[in-house]
Amino acid sequence: MTSSRLLNLYTGAFLIFMFAPLVLMIVTSFNDTSPPSVTDWRGLTGKWYAFFWMDEAALRADPVLRALDRGRFVGCFGNSLQIAGIVVPLALVLGLSGAVMLTRWQSRANGLLWWVLLSPMLAPGIVLGLSALVFWGRIGVDAGMFTIIAAQLTFVAGYPMLIIMARLQRQPVELEEAAMDLGASPLRIFARITLPFLAPALFSAGVIAFLASIENYNTTMFAKGGSCTFATEIGAMARNPNGHPPVINAVGTVIILLTVGFAVTHALLQRRERA
Amino acid sequence: MIGKDVTLLGVSVTYSNGFTAVHPTDLLVRAGEFFSILGPSGCGKTTILRAVSGFVTPAAGQIKIGGQDMAGLPPNQRPTALIFQNLALFPLMSVRDNVAFGLEARGVSRRVRQRRADALLDLVALGDQADKLPGALSGGQRQRVAIARALAVEPAVLLLDEPLSALDLKLRQHMRAELRSLQKQTGVTFIYITHDQSEALTMSDRIAVMNGGKIEQVGTGDDIYSNPASAFVASFVGEVNTLPGRIIRQEGALAQVETSLGPIIARNPQNMPLGGSCVVFVRPESVQLQPQMPTNRFQVVLERRDLEGAFVTLRLLAGQGRQPIIAHLPNTGPTHASTSLTSAGFDPQAALVLPQGTLAHTGREDMPR
Ligand SMILES: Nc1ncnc2c1ncn2[C@@H]1O[C@H](COP(=O)(O)OP(=O)(O)OP(=O)(O)O)[C@@H](O)[C@H]1O
Ligand SMILES: [Mg+2]
């Protein structure tokens, strides 16, 4: 009895600890004051969201918003999408190759390869960013979009590899053997048997790689040079000595909504697949 | 489709962990034959099939199909088709696409291969299931899809790895007949693996009995059942009574053996020498109650009667040593009162003297008496 009450208490505390900041963030994104506050309620507003589409005149009229560089923010966000647009497909290809090699091409070096391929995921992001900066600098490539992509790719590719490996291990080897026995070339086996089987895993891996790329801050921070991304720009805005503008809270709220939406869709899709 | 012969010359298989699953083996499977490999679990049956189909490379020896050496040929270039123990149907393809897959791999145009797949599905009586996914079929139907898929590539040799083991008894019996007639119809060489002796006996032209990575005997079903070459074959194929003893006299093709039941006369096909210790094998259906002849006759007590349907199994205790003997008799109604003392015996021609050797586990020996 008491132990179950303790457990409930603990669970409740845990959930509050986890979700209270998010709830506060959502609430402040609708409060008409800057820097964000819940205690100082100045009325409901949608302007922290409307910042992204309100016309130039209205923007200039607002004392908080006029200090922000909307064009730059949107540009950085565009950069992030471009980077993810390159990182995600490359990470999928790399992850897929790694997963196929580790599961189907049994060799003595597999144990070592596994650690080598996954070490970027475990290494501190700062180290990755710094090493990318130094490495590409020595080669003579200026830090920028390219170095961000190179640095992110080193660790983002690990996620697809893990996800695809988990699924590959569940596919009976006999399916591929049967296809080979029926005369199929390795390429055809891969295209007709293995790839369709992996499709759901590839989708999940793509989503996760996308999120990992978009939200990455520390590695990108070092590799970015003069360019910027969505995450680094939010970071820059948050460092405002007068407190950050609630626009960031609005952006955070949108991200939460998107994430929940993704997760629910994914769960529904999986349930349908199992049925 | 035309079957080809398969020859194994001194083939042995050693896995990468150093375990030798198949010891040097010679085997000739004739073209167009229904050939079974029968043996207990783990004796190396699948390993032999995988060597023939090209998934494992023999450590030594040569495999020839239709006279052509298979060394170095990968599975997708051999004239064989393997039906896997778990069927390995492609779960995301329709039944028709499954069957057409081998032709697709050979670059046959879509229209032609679908027509061919439909014809094969008709052959296995699944013409109306072509658009379903394999997961939506019953066990027996899946089985037939696997067969159609394998036949689609017109193999010279079809290798079947215990394909019926997952089916229930009724369906299994039905599929046995179907497989057999399919084999006759197509003329393809079938190499059929099973650990079920009645399956091997009912379907095969010839059978190889395997144990511990070695083939112990090759012959027709009758051969193997009536003239087993070793203690293992005698005890694995069908039920058998065993009487250990020592040869005390030779009379031409017969030998007299001293056993716990007294002197027993039995056939001695391997010409075992005088004085050698041996085992006498007698099938339960050869044991008679109150036999006419004076030889091989002994006193028994009926310990238990099990009704099996068409016949009854009598568990007898024979002689002073109460040696267990099993007899199968036609079911003639509820007779044979228990514990009645009577005599039993068998014809010398129905008994066989063989060297001692490992006996197969039939699962019967643990049954409560
Ligand atoms: N990849 C492998 N590596 C090492 N040993 C193996 C391997 N595959 C099989 N073996 C061993 O080789 C022996 C023969 O295996 P095989 O699969 O040929 O048996 P089987 O006769 O087909 O048995 P079952 O009737 O259970 O299918 C077994 O003892 C098994 O443990
Ligand atoms: Mg097997």
Q: Residue B94 in contact with residue B133, Cβ under 8 Å?
A: yes
Cα separation values, A6 from A9, A14, A15, A20, Å: 5, 12, 14, 20
Same domain, B239 and B211: no
Mean pLDDT of B241-260: 92
Q: Which DSSP state fits A44?
A: B
Contacts of B97 (CB under 8 A, 6+ apart): B90, B104, B117
Q: Is the CB of B55 under 6 A from ligand 1?
A: no
Buried b (16+ CB within 10 A) or exposed e, A232-257: bbbbebeeeeeebbbbbbbbbbeeee
Catalogue all structural domains in chain A, each as residue range(s) with its CATH number. 3-67 (no CATH), 70-244 (1.10.3720.10)
Q: Nearest CB to B84: which of A174, A183, A185? A: A174
Same domain, B304 and B289: yes
- Domain boundary at B208, B226, B244, which? B226
Q: Residue B273 in contact with residue B257, Cβ under 8 Å?
A: no
Q: Is the CB of B44 under 6 A from ligand 1?
A: yes
- Alpha helices, DSSP H only, in chain A? 2-28, 47-50, 56-61, 70-104, 110-122, 125-139, 145-156, 158-168, 173-181, 186-189, 195-215, 218-223, 230-238, 247-274
* CA angle (A241, A242, A243) in 5-degree steps: 90
Q: Per-residue pLDDT tens for B38-92?
A: 999 999 999 999 999 999 999 999 999 999 999 999 998 999 999 998 899 999 9
- Determine the Cα–Cα distance for residues B90 and B145; give it in Å rounded to an integer: 11
- Is the per-residue pLDDT at B9 higher than 70? yes
Q: What is the pLDDT of residue B362?
A: 63
Number of CB pairs, chain A paired with chain B, less than 8 A apart: 63
- Is the per-residue pLDDT at A11 higher than 90? yes
Q: Is the CB of B19 under 6 A from ligand 1?
A: yes
Residue B1 lies in a domain: no
- Determine the Cα–Cα distance for residues A51 and A250; give it in Å rounded to an integer: 10
B124 or B82: whose pLDDT is higher?
B82
Contacts of B167 (CB under 8 A, 6+ apart): B139, B140, B143, B175
**What percent of chain A is predicted at pLDDT more than 90?**
51
Same domain, B84 and B208: yes
Q: Compute CA B123 distance to the chain's CA centroid, rounded to the nearest angstrom.
A: 26
Q: Residue B104 in contact with residue B94, Cβ under 8 Å?
A: no
* Dihedrals phi, psi of A242, to nearest 5 degrees: -90, 15
Atom in ligand 1 nearest the alpha carbon of residue B22: 14
* Dihedrals phi, psi of B61, to nearest 5 degrees: 95, 180
Residue B363 lies in a domain: no
Could you tell me which residues are beta bridge partners of residue B336?
Answer: none
Q: Per-residue pLDDT tens for B12-42?
A: 999 989 999 999 999 999 999 999 999 999 9
ipTM: 0.80
List the CATH number of the domain containing B106: 3.40.50.300
- Determine the Cα–Cα distance for residues A139 and B175; give it in Å rounded to an integer: 69
Residue B45 lies in a domain: yes
- Domain boundary at B226, B261, B283, which? B226
Q: Sign of dihedral through CA atoms A56, A61, A65, A66? A: positive
State chain B's mean pLDDT as an integer: 90
Residue A237 structure tokens: 């805005």
Same domain, B67 and B27: yes
Residue B361 lies in a domain: no
pLDDT category, B367, cuts 50, 70, 90? very low
Q: Is the CB of B215 under 6 A from ligand 1?
A: no
Residue B369 lies in a domain: no
Q: Kindly determine whether residue A193 and residue B90, on different chains, have CB atoms separated by under 8 Å.
A: yes
Q: What is the pLDDT of residue B103?
A: 94
Cα separation values, B26 from A72, A151, B38, B75, B189, Å: 79, 60, 16, 21, 18
Chain A residue numbers with beta carbons less than 8 Å from the beta carbon of B102 are: 182-184
Q: Kindly determine whether residue A184 and residue B80, on different chains, have CB atoms separated by under 8 Å.
A: no
- Is the per-residue pLDDT at A34 higher than 60? yes
Minimal CA–CA distance to B353: which of B293, B289, B286, B264? Answer: B264
Mean pLDDT of A108-130: 87
Residue A115 structure tokens: 């650690």
Q: Per-residue pLDDT tens for B126-143?
A: 889 999 999 999 888 998
Q: What 3-state class would DSSP assign to A205? A: helix
pLDDT category, B363, cuts 50, 70, 90? low
Same domain, B161 and B278: no
- Determine the Cα–Cα distance for residues A254 and B85; give it in Å rounded to an integer: 52
pLDDT category, A187, cuts 50, 70, 90? very high
Mean pLDDT of A134-154: 91
Chain B residue numbers with beta carbons less than 8 Å from the beta carbon of A184 are: 76, 101-102, 104-105
Q: Nearest CB to B86: which of A172, A182, A197? A: A172
Mean pLDDT of B309-327: 89
- Is the per-residue pLDDT at A216 higher than 50? yes
Q: Residue A212 in contact with residue A159, Cβ under 8 Å?
A: yes
Same domain, B204 and B242: no
Same domain, B219 and B259: no
Same domain, B222 and B297: no
pLDDT category, B366, cuts 50, 70, 90? very low
Same domain, B162 and B17: yes
- Is the per-residue pLDDT at B361 higher than 80? no
pLDDT category, B336, cuts 50, 70, 90? low
**A161 to chain B, closest Cα gap in Å:** 23
Q: Which domain holds residue B213?
A: 6-226
- Domain boundary at B226, B242, B273, which? B226
Q: What is the pLDDT of residue B339?
A: 56
Q: Residue A45 in contact with residue A31, Cβ under 8 Å?
A: yes
**What percent of chain A is predicted at pLDDT more than 70?**
99
Q: Kindly determine whether residue A183 and residue B153, on different chains, have CB atoms separated by under 8 Å.
A: yes
Q: How many separate domains does chain B show?
A: 2
pLDDT category, B337, cuts 50, 70, 90? low
Peptide bond connecting B355 to the previous residue in cis, omega within 30 degrees of 0: no
